Structure formats: structure tokens, C-alpha cells
Structure 1
Amino acid sequence: MEIDLGRLRIDGAIPQMWLDGEAVGLPPLEFLLLRYFAERRGAVLSRDELLSNVWSDRPAARSNTLSVHIARLRKRLGDDEQNPRWIKVVRGIGYQFLVPE
């Protein structure tokens, strides 16, 4: 099912999102990561939870795999690396996905 968060819509079947009405294709893992975040909007998710749920059926991910995918996803969302609004780090716990106005 499609996820509609106002400014951001995420396709339910193919790796694609629409940000402010513009279609953006996504690599499969970024799509899965974004959907996982969007389904849990506002919740703080640990690195371990994200790795075990998004990468569950893939070979063990290296320690920086999640960081790289989040950085790429932030870029696609137009997020500022120094002051991210979409995917925030909650120091010592994990990440939180929010939808800025």
C-alpha cells in the first residue's frame, strides 16, 4: 500500500517516492529503509532494529552500511547534513524519521 505523508508519498510496490510532487526513483534498499521509517514515523529506531529488519534476508551488513544508506536517503530527501529535518540522529539510541512542514 502507498504511504502518504503529505509532502512525501511512498509507492507500495515499486521503489519510488514523490517529494513535493516530484517523482524520485530509489534503489531497493533505500526504498525498504524509507518505508520502514515511514511506517514508524516519529519513533526512535535503533541501528540494530533497522539492520535486522531492513537487511534481514541479506548477508550481514558492515558497520557503516546503515550510515551510508541513510546519508544517501537524506540527500534524496533534500536534507541538510548538518541540520537534518527528515532523519534525525538521537545520540546513543538511533534514528528518528519526521516529516518537516
Structure 2
Amino acid sequence: MVQLLLVEDDASVRTTLTRALSEHGHAVSSAPTAAEGLRQVVEGRPDLVVLDLGLPDLDGSQMLRMLRAVTSIPVIVTTARDSEREMVRVLDAGADDYVVKPFSASQLNARIRAVLRRGHGENSEEEPVRVGGLRMNLKAREACLDGRTLELSPREFDLLYYLTVRVGQVISKRELLAEVWHTPFGGTDKTIDVHIAWLRRKLGETATAPRYLRSIRGSGVKIVDPSR
């Protein structure tokens, strides 16, 4: 699960984005000022910072320079300032992406995923991914459930891992065909349905009594943490 820090002084925006990004499967903490944001970065070491430029104590670009002096944590800047000159200045100062307000939570989530894939995916793959009692190690290609090793085919492992690192997110069957099967214009939904059924059996669940795998009619499938 990605640990996000949202630095935003507007309470309503902060509340709305925290709720929406949490629904996308992220663990979100927030700060209304640059000082509080810097403290949380030092103490909590989030995976990514979403930083508003219009903060009450420091301009967000000043906070960005302070962050870059001590950490390489990815930073996505959000702002109403839409001039090209400002965008270039902030990106040159070390921002990984720049999003102009207003924007949707879905757009911001897509930017978060892209930044993490682009600059930090290889390092994150070295660490096991855990969701409830499910633990997946990409480097060793090993999956365990409640301490018991799961016997998965290569495709089953790839499918389960793809879903697990996106815990809480509904993934469409088209995306699964493109990213797991690498056949965006081939294959059928039935292929995915069969593999999901096999995974359910190995996870000790059924479609009528799911624990980790949830099918969302007309949308796709997602992994959830049954302990939450």
C-alpha cells in the first residue's frame, strides 16, 4: 500500500482528496502547513508527497527545495498557477509532476501511479507486498498466505501480483489483458474469469464468499484487505 502525504492548506480540499485517495487504496496522511509537512516527511518517510504551492507559512516551492536537500521522495505539485514559466520553474526545482487545479481524484491517482512506476518501481519491487495475510515477493516470485506457500502458475502469480500492488483499485479486464497477458487486442474476458476462479480456489475462497478477490460487475476485479 502506498503511503501518501498530502500537504494542502484548504481544509475542504484536504478532506475530499484524503477520502478519495484512500478509496483508491492508498494510506493518506495530511498536513495544512509546510512546517507540519516537513515534520511528517522526516518522521513518517512517505512514499510520495502531494504538495500544494499556496501554503500559509511557506510557498510550496520553498518547501520543495527543502525536501530536495534531504530526500529523493517523489513530489507531485498541485496548484492553480498554470503558466508555463511557473511549471518549468517548479519542475526544475525538483518536482516529479505538476498538476493544475481543478483536477479529479482519478486524474491525480493516475499521476501518482505513473510517477511511482517511472522513477521508483524497481526499488519497490525489491520489497515484499503485503495485504492482510497475503505476502508476495516479486524478486523471488513467491506468494504466501498466512505463512503457507501458494503453488501458482507463472500467469497466476503475475495476475495476483498485479492486483495486489494496486490493492483497493478496481482493475478492468481490458487492462489485465494488456498488462498481464500483453494482448490488448486479443484474448477474452473468459480467460481472466478462469484464472480468477483458479486463484480463488488457491486463496481458499469462492465467488459467493470472497475474501481477497472481489469482482465488480461491469467494471473489473480488485484485491481487498479482509482484515479492514
For residues 62 and 49 of structure 1, the distance between their equivalents in structure 2, rounded to whole angstroms, comes to: 12
Contact 1:15 1:27 in 2 (8 A): no
5+ residue gaps, structure 1, are: none
Q: Could you tell me how far 1:12 is from its partner in structure 2?
A: 1.5
* 1:90 and 2:216 matched: yes
Q: Could you tell me how far 1:61 is from its partner in structure 2?
A: 2.2
* 1:16 and 2:142 matched: yes
Q: After the TM superposition, which residues 47-86 of structure 1 pair with which residues of structure 2 at under 5 Å, given as runs? A: 47-56=173-182, 60-86=186-212
Contact 1:46 1:94 in 2 (8 A): yes
Q: Could you tell me how far 1:77 is from its partner in structure 2?
A: 0.7
For residues 62 and 24 of structure 1, the distance between their equivalents in structure 2, rounded to whole angstroms, comes to: 26
The structure that is strand-richer by fraction is 1
Q: 1:68 is matched by which residue type in structure 2?
A: V
5+ residue gaps, structure 2, are: 1-125
State the structure with bigger RCO (CA 8 A, min sep 6), 1 or 2: 1
Higher-Rg structure is 2
For residues 16 and 70 of structure 1, the distance between their equivalents in structure 2, rounded to whole angstroms, comes to: 18
Aligned-pair identity in percent equals 37
Q: Could you list the runs of 4 or more consecutive aligned residues of structure 1 that deviate by over 4 angstroms after TM superposition?
A: none
- Aligned residue-pair number: 101
- Select 1:39's aligned residue among 165, 168, 180: 165
Contact 1:89 1:95 in 2 (8 A): yes
TM-score by length of 2: 0.41
2:171 is paired with a residue of what secondary structure?
strand
